[in-house]
């Protein structure tokens, strides 16, 4: 079966190593395709996004590598867009020049209406819980609602191909401040899936939380995957690699989960694979 990975971070953002090292490793691992997805530029200092200057360099370099390795692997130039209302640019301002092959849309920072500060769901465990106290008066349900509302807003207002780690808000929580079994929680994720379906977006099964030891289950949960299958929402496997070695981490295990759930194929924005 052919392997691919469209969610990878290199030294252009917060990953390790040059993008060519990812290509070489992917060929070694007999991948059919690889896509790069640096974190999109943001208008404030941060240690994870690509700078505006480097964005152009990256696009140019990816084009060179496409040509250099064209007989060995398919290469796609992507980006992981960080959606933060009022802070992130419109997706189309970055993708508008036509040089990007695909976009992953993700929410990492939750912005409460009318407030400058954001709740970082993807940083340290401590700041995840501190943020619930600081920005939502300790009301975890409100915090989670804001995360999913921002996700829905992203789907409704932006154009992108793949939704990144759709239920990552559960990662640090581990069923403590809120329960993913609550009816309110299930309704929220169902509302997100309805929007995803309407806009024809691919849901990625993202293995990163599991192989870094931060999450006991993949993003999204098996329950959400079952709903995707029922709703005929396309899914794909990505590892969100931050080093070349992570290119296929938990790929095989994720594939087994999808097969067990009943999926017969996995998708990408460019081709499908029977499983
Ligand atoms: Zn992400
Ligand atoms: Zn990522």
Q: What share of the chain is helix, strand, coil (3-state, %, to 5)?
A: 40, 20, 40
Q: How far is the centre of ligand 1, averaged over its atoms, from the C-alpha of 71 (Å)?
A: 30
In this predicted structure, what is the pLDDT of residue 44?
Answer: 86
Q: How far is 274 from 263, CA to CA, in rounded Å? A: 9
pTM of the model: 0.97
pLDDT in tens, 132-168: 999 999 999 999 999 999 999 999 999 999 999 999 9
Q: How far is the centre of ligand 2, averaged over its atoms, from the C-alpha of 268 (Å)?
A: 16
Q: Which CATH superfamily is domain 3-274 in?
A: Metal-dependent hydrolases (3.20.20.140)
SS3 259: helix
pLDDT in tens, 78-128: 999 999 998 888 888 876 567 899 999 999 999 987 788 899 999 999 999
Which ligand does the CA of 163 lie closest to?
A: 1
Q: How far is the centre of ligand 2, averaged over its atoms, from the C-alpha of 80 (Å)?
A: 6
Burial status of residue 24 (CB atoms within 10 A of its CB: 0-12, 13-18, 19 or more): middle
Q: How far is 22 from 267, CA to CA, in rounded Å? A: 21
Q: How far is the centre of ligand 1, averaged over its atoms, from the C-alpha of 168 (Å)?
A: 9
Alpha-carbon distances, residue 88 vs 42, 78, 119, 151 (angstroms)? 6, 17, 15, 13
In this predicted structure, what is the pLDDT of residue 95?
Answer: 65
Which ligand does the CA of 242 lie closest to?
A: 2
Q: Are strands 118-120 and 109-111 parallel, antiparallel or unpaired?
A: antiparallel
204 CB-side CA count, 13 A: 29
Q: How far is 199 from 222, CA to CA, in rounded Å? A: 22
* Angle formed by the axes of helices 125-136 and 140-157, nearest 10°: 90
pLDDT above 60 (res 196): yes
In this predicted structure, what is the pLDDT of residue 90?
Answer: 84
Burial status of residue 142 (CB atoms within 10 A of its CB: 0-12, 13-18, 19 or more): middle
Q: How far is the centre of ligand 2, averaged over its atoms, from the C-alpha of 240 (Å)?
A: 5
Residues with CB under 5 A from ligand 2 (ion): 80, 240
């Amino acid at each position: 079966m052919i392997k691919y990975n469209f969610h990878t971070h290199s030294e252009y953002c917060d990953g390790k190593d040059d993008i060519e090292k990812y290509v070489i490793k992917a060929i070694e691992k007999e991948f059919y395709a690889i896509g790069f997805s640096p974190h999109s530029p943001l208008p404030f200092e941060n240690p994870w996004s690509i700078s505006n200057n480097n964005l152009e360099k990256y696009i140019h370099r990816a084009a060179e590598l496409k040509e250099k390795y064209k007989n060995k692997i398919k290469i796609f130039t992507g980006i992981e867009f960080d959606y933060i209302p009022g802070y992130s640019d419109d997706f189309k301002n970055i993708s508008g020049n036509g040089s990007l092959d695909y976009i992953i849309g993700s929410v990492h920072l939750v912005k409460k209406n009318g407030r400058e500060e954001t709740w970082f769901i993807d940083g340290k465990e401590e700041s995840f819980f501190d943020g619930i106290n600081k920005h939502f008066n300790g009301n975890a349900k409100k915090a989670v609602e804001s995360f999913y509302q921002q996700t829905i807003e992203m789907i409704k207002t932006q154009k992108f191909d793949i939704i990144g780690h759709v239920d990552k808000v559960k990662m640090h929580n581990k069923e403590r401040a809120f329960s993913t079994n609550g009816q309110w929680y299930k309704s929220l994720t169902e509302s997100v899936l309805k929007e995803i379906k309407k806009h024809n977006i691919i849901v990625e099964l993202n293995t990163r939380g599991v192989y870094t030891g931060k999450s006991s289950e993949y993003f999204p949960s098996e329950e959400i995957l079952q709903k995707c299958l029922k709703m005929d929402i396309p899914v794909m496997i990505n590892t969100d690699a931050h080093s070349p070695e992570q290119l296929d981490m938990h790929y095989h295990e994720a594939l087994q989960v999808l097969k067990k759930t009943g999926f017969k194929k996995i998708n990408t924005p460019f081709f499908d694979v029977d499983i």
